[in-house]
Amino acid sequence: MKSIPSISLYGIIGATLVYAAVALAGEPKPLNVPGADWHAKAERWFTSKDEKERKAQMKEASRALKRPCKNCHTEDFEGFIDEDRKVLTQQMMSISFDSGLQCKDCHDGKEKMTELGETAEKMYDLSREKGVYCDECHQTNQSKFKDLSEKGKKFKDEMEAKKKAAGGAAPATTPASAPASTP
């Protein structure tokens, strides 16, 4: 009779953590902006209070992302599959509303982004690193990120000066004066 190898609790926990890390690899992480009410910000994205119209709007987003509704929602559609996905979804809805963009303006399927989306993704990573929301540097006036705030203009000037000083190469780090307040 063969013995079954024993599996320690630590082995199970370790395997679970590895599985979770692999499952989340490549998935963007939400911004960590203390005090931000992402639910309220996301609600502005909907153009109607009518449930049927809201579902149609979400289906349009699902088509742009080329992902099923269950990519974010639970099987029963009563919630989100995890807290990160919930917050990330709400942040994307808020960004879309504030900037005047539709999902398809940045997303071109599961893995592909449009040119604007690639730029926005880099800025989103910078926002996450600094713990700020997009409105720290961009005006929330439906301008598709074209209009910068005063802080945004200053930050852009600093980045361009660093790039010029480095002989045209992008700076390795962001300026110390990068925005750091909350929405």
Name 6's Cβ contacts closer than 8 Å, sequence gap at least 6: none
Q: Give domain status of residue 112, yes or no.
A: yes
**Residue 115 forms part of a structural domain:** yes
- The answer to whether residue 176 sits within a structural domain is no
Alpha helices in 25-165 (DSSP H): 38-43, 51-65, 83-99, 103-106, 115-130, 150-165
Q: How many CB atoms lie within 10 A of CB 15?
A: 11
Averaged pLDDT for residues 103-124:
89
110 or 163, which is more confident: 163
**Residue 118 is assigned to a structural domain of this protein:** yes
- Tell me, yes or no, whether 48 lies in a domain: yes
pLDDT at 2: 47
Range(s) of the domain holding residue 159? 35-165
Q: Is residue 23 part of a domain?
A: no
Q: How many domains does the chain have?
A: 1
pLDDT of 50 strictly over 50: yes
